[in-house]
Amino acid sequence: MTSPHAGHWREHFAGIDLPVPVLGGGSVTGINFDNAASTPPLKRVRDLVTRFSDVYSSVHRGTGYKSRLSTQAYEEAREHVARFLGVDSASQVVIFVKGTTDALNRIAAEQARLDGRHVLVTEMEHHADLLPWRHRSGHVIAGLSTSGHIDMDAIERALVEAHGGIGLVALCGASNVTGFVSPVHEVAELAHRHGARISVDAAQLAPHHRIDVRPANDPGHLDFVSLSGHKMYAPYGAGVLVAPRDFFSGAPEVMGGGAISIVTWDDTVWADLPDREEAGSPNVIGAVALGVAVDTILELGFDEMLAYESALGERLIAGLARVPGVGVLGGAEDGKRGARLALASFVVDGMHHGLVAAALSHEWGIAVRHGCFCANPYVFHLLHMSKEAVTAVEGEVTSGHRTALPGAVRASLAPYNTPEEVDRFVDAVRHIAAGRLRATYVQAGDGTFAPAGGWPRIESPLQAASRRA
């Protein structure tokens, strides 16, 4: 049955009709196409945070009313996330963390300490799903197809050639550069067949695609899943790590209050999961916000929301493909619906990515992201850069000249975006690609561009609050 909210999701998000200053001293209603970096909160989540602040207290062991209420809300949020992901609670645990980066580093620390085998990653990975393995367990990198898709043959070949020396396959659920959705369950089957587990970086996937962890006895079962609340409409500092219960057997990576059963002069007895992995005072408000966000998108109609997003993404990519001089990373082929998020990274012939992004903001009031999106090897692959070219760029950057760093411009959508916004964006890119800039821009040493006269002065919320006080 179609959700009664279908087509009306925009009204459920906070801060989306903000006037932003543009060239000439006027303002327009801003367009936020930077959702892959972080998302605004749902209004229900924002309002819940305000109300819950009145009853917030430290969770667990407190006997006061607020503490018992906060504990109940915190543990209910854990249950909501487990249901949302289809977690096999008998064999897995949901741990609240700071975010995806925190989760992946925790897995890497434990993997290096207890397993000792290498981790297999792909060239597609975000730095958060590359660096922790590189600098702890050591990693093997599997190549991609020319267009930047997961290469199942390359993954299987790496597993076979390792002769059991790979203990974990780390894979992003969806790329934050191209939006390509990874075949996580197929990769999971391969990993399990060769005696390895799979870790899915679901930071991009979770808000925009259904995830089903599956039971532990399913060959395509996902062993680890990591996600961030700030990317799924609950930007209050909490994230989730789903992990096998038998994975955390030694001393926890983060130690402190709440993680123990008893500490004597000579001994430490660690608490059961999840407490042992949530030392210190947890981010209760962030966890509760994430639980409410999950419930809200389900109530609003998650499947209809995803279908709407997919249609927006197709409109975005098709529009960019029609602009002369614009190239979409990974290609502009439509492909099977659901195989690509509503996201596109692109380059404009003869123009620096930073200049395109600055013009979109300063002249059109459109927020995008530019650069390599914390996925340097993947962007280099998509730009078809040789190792020699990358080495030359590395030398420039190391010497402090970041102006040489290549990259692209990324537009990433969410359910509150509209077809009209997509069309306005494509029109803006068409004007910029044709060289019809309305201002002169200056590039700074860090590679960014700004109007020659500088950006309009911005008063921060903290400054505004101080002034009112």
In this structure, what are the phi and psi dihedrals at residue 458, rounded to the nearest 5 degrees?
Answer: -115, 130
Q: pLDDT higher for 127 or 467?
A: 127
Tokens of 431: 């004007």
Return the structure tokens found at 211. 């995830």
Q: Is the dihedral of CA 262, 273, 233, 408 positive or negative?
A: positive
Assigned CATH topology for domain 47-298: Aspartate Aminotransferase; domain 2 (3.40.640)
Which residue, 320, 321, 124, 122, is CA-closest to 204? 124
Q: How many CA atoms lie less than 13 Å away from 348 in the CB half-sphere?
A: 23
pLDDT digits (tens, 9 = 90+) for 455-464: 777 777 777 6
Note the pLDDT of residue 400.
81
Judge contact between 216 and 88, C-beta under 8 A: yes
- Tell me the mean pLDDT in the region 205-234: 97
Length of the chain as a residue count: 469
C-alpha 273/C-alpha 384 separation (Å) is 45
Report the alpha-carbon distance of residue 321 to residue 184 in Å, rounded: 28
**Which superfamily is assigned to 9-32+301-372+407-461 in CATH?**
Aspartate Aminotransferase, domain 1 (3.90.1150.10)
Query: pTM above 0.75?
Result: yes
Cα–chain center distance at 296:
19
**Cis link prior to 215 (omega < 30° from 0)?**
no
The model's confidence at residue 466, banded by pLDDT at 50, 70 and 90, is: low
C-alpha triplet 161, 164, 170: angle, nearest 5°? 85
Catalytic positions: 374
Question: Could you give the angle at the alpha carbon of 173 between the alpha carbons of 168 and 174, nearest 5°?
Answer: 140
Average pLDDT of the chain, as a whole number: 93
What would the pLDDT profile of 168-218 be if each residue is shown by its tens digit?
999 999 999 999 999 999 999 999 999 999 999 999 999 999 999 999 999
pLDDT at 179: 97
Spatial distance between the Cα atoms of 227 and 245, rounded to a whole number of angstroms:
18
What whole-number distance in Å separates Cα of residue 229 and Cα of residue 292?
11
- Per-residue tokens: 116: 């000792």
Measure the N-to-C terminal CA separation of the chain; round to a whole number of Å: 50
Least confident of 110-124, 176-190, 316-330: 110-124
Give the CA radius of gyration of the chain.
23
Task: Choose among 173, 432, 440, 182: nearest CA to 325.
Answer: 432
What's the pLDDT at 210? 95
What is the tens place of the pLDDT at every residue in 38-93?
Answer: 999 999 999 999 999 999 999 998 899 999 999 999 999 999 999 999 998 999 99
Closest CA to 292 of 12, 45, 43, 9: 45
Domain locations in the chain as residue ranges: 9-32+301-372+407-461, 47-298
